[in-house]
């Protein structure tokens, strides 16, 4: 049973401390970044104590959140889960959470002991007003997943002034592979950003959607060494999840997943300047999927609290509810207590595989 196997809160807290420690080591050549990270390490330990205190009061606070702050995007990446879910479009969206409402979420997250809030979209830099609010909450690290197409000097200056805002550039592999999925010329824009970040002493990472087509390329020494030379400090491997029949051929099979797991373990054993994170691959160490508030949950651009970005179902909204209310939502509680998150499935995102079951839970409420 998932919650009785081990102390999840302690296990995740130790892993966060280890991650922060690794980041500090990787920023030693950048004094300003190292000073910030040392301060953040202290804040992380305080946050861990807060979460443990809440746990003693029967509130399991996840250490991180994913926040999609806009549904607007200027790219049409092949197989995009967000467009498949109709959560991303080309138009300027309406009825989004305001910057003040997002600021309230960030403050409440800090006060509950949440360390990281991953900002996503759409393209999150269409909501610079929200990102500036995030920059004010120094106790939280905000990795920002961006396609890199609208960054300019204004954004570079903002990163230097707010070290808790960390750009994570989405890339698919080399130029041909990246442009094939994201559009012609995107790879060159990403490289331009990397050069600027490195020259300005701004820490950044890369997010890679892992498919059957690019698996060997993006785990190769050649590709990863090139990212390292460009200044990248973290690589986040996100396993592709098909949202329709047309893109199922891109999903990894069991042999592919085993190859990816072994390769990442091999990379982590090397002494280098990059951190490697795998999603959902790392979740097996946590006794199952950590969505639905177990380790994180997703807040969509309109304020709906969802199990994860791949499972866009919600029974509570942050416009008129607190973050604590969202953590205790009926939907999340059912998903956790019925152990859906560690049921048998064929790999990939379990909540996508159990889509019909989640929909039935929502209807039955």
Q: What is the CATH number of the domain that holds 49?
A: 3.20.20.70
pLDDT of residue 364: 61
Which contacts qualify for 77-81: CB closer than 8 Å, 24 or more apart?
Answer: 77/147, 77/181, 77/182, 77/183, 78/180, 78/181, 78/247, 79/181, 79/211, 79/240, 79/242, 79/243, 79/247, 79/250, 81/241, 81/243, 81/309, 81/310
Residue 360 domain-assigned (yes or no) = yes
Q: What is the pTM of this model?
A: 0.90
Give, for 120, the enclosing helix (H) or strand (E).
Answer: strand 116-120
Between 6-20, 26-40, 74-88, the lowest mean confidence (pLDDT) is in 6-20
Q: 225's torsion region: left (phi>0), alpha (psi -120 to 50) or beta? A: alpha
What integer best gives the mean pLDDT of the chain?
88
User: Residue 283: pLDDT above 80?
Assistant: no
pLDDT value at position 1?
Answer: 37
Dig out the tokens for 74 from the structure.
């200027």
* Number of structural domains the chain divides into: 1
Q: Tell whether 284 is covered by a domain.
A: yes
User: Over the stretch 319-364, which tens digit does the pLDDT of each residue have?
Assistant: 999 999 999 999 999 888 887 777 655 556 778 777 777 877 776 6
**Placement of tokens 């590709």 in the chain:** 223
Handedness of CA 359, 361, 363, 365 (dihedral sign): negative
What is the sign, positive or negative, of the torsion defined by CA atoms of 208, 28, 156, 45?
positive
The DSSP element (H or E) to which 67 belongs, if any, is strand 64-68
Q: The tokens 């197989």 sit on which residue?
A: 79
Mean pLDDT of 158-169: 95
- Beta-strand pair 305-306/116-120: unpaired
Rounded Cα gap, residues 226 and 13, in angstroms: 32
How sure is the predictor about 2, in pLDDT bands with cuts at 50, 70 and 90? very low
179-233 pLDDT, tens digit per residue, is 999 999 999 999 999 999 999 989 999 999 999 999 999 999 999 999 999 999 9
From edge to edge, which strands make up the β-sheet containing 116-120?
275-279, 234-239, 205-210, 165-170, 142-146, 116-120, 64-68, 298-299, 305-306
What are 347's two structure tokens? 């790999």
Work out the average pLDDT over 300-319: 93
223-275 residue pLDDT tens: 999 999 999 999 999 999 887 777 888 999 989 999 999 999 999 888 677 88
DSSP state of 92: P
Question: For the residues 10-35, what does the mean pLDDT come to?
Answer: 73
In a domain, 3, yes or no: no
Q: What is the pLDDT of residue 252?
A: 92
On whether residue 2 sits in a domain, the answer given is: no
What domain range includes position 96?
8-364
pLDDT of 75 reads 93
Residue 53, sorted as left (phi over 0), alpha (psi -120 to 50) or beta, turns out to be alpha
- Which whole number is the average pLDDT over 141-169? 95
């Amino acid at each position: 049973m998932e919650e009785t196997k081990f102390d999840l809160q302690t296990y995740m807290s130790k892993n966060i401390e280890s991650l922060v420690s690794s980041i500090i080591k990787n920023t030693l050549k950048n004094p300003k970044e190292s000073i910030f990270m040392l301060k953040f390490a202290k804040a992380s330990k305080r946050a861990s104590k807060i979460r443990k205190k809440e746990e003693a009061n029967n509130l399991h606070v996840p250490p991180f959140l994913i926040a999609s702050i806009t549904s607007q995007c200027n790219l049409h990446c092949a197989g995009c889960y967000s467009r498949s879910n109709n959560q991303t479009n080309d138009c300027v969206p309406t009825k989004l959470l305001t910057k003040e409402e997002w600021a309230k979420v960030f403050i409440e997250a800090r006060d509950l002991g949440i360390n990281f809030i991953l900002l996503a979209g759409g393209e999150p830099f269409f909501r610079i007003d929200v990102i500036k609010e995030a920059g004010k909450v120094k106790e939280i690290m905000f990795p920002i997943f961006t396609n890199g197409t609208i960054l300019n000097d204004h954004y570079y200056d903002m990163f230097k002034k707010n070290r808790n805002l960390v750009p994570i550039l989405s890339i698919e592999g080399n130029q041909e592979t990246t442009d094939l999925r994201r559009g012609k010329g995107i790879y060159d824009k990403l490289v331009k950003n990397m050069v600027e970040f490195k020259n300005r002493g701004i820490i950044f990472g890369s997010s890679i959607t892992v498919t059957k087509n690019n698996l060997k390329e993006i785990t190769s020494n050649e590709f990863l060494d090139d990212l390292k030379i460009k200044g990248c400090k973290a690589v986040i491997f996100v396993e592709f999840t098909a949202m329709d029949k047309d893109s199922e051929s891109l999903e990894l099979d069991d042999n592919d997943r085993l190859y990816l797991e072994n390769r990442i373990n091999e990379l982590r054993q090397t002494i280098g300047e990059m951190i490697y994170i795998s999603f959902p691959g790392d979740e097996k160490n946590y006794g199952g999927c950590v969505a639905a508030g177990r380790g994180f949950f997703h807040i969509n651009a309109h304020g709906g609290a969802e199990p994860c970005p791949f499972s866009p179902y919600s029974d509570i909204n942050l416009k008129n509810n607190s973050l604590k209310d969202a953590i205790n939502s009926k939907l999340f509680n059912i998903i956790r207590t019925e152990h859906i998150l560690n049921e048998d499935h064929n790999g990939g995102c379990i909540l996508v595989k159990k889509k019909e079951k989640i929909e039935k839970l929502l209807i039955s409420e």
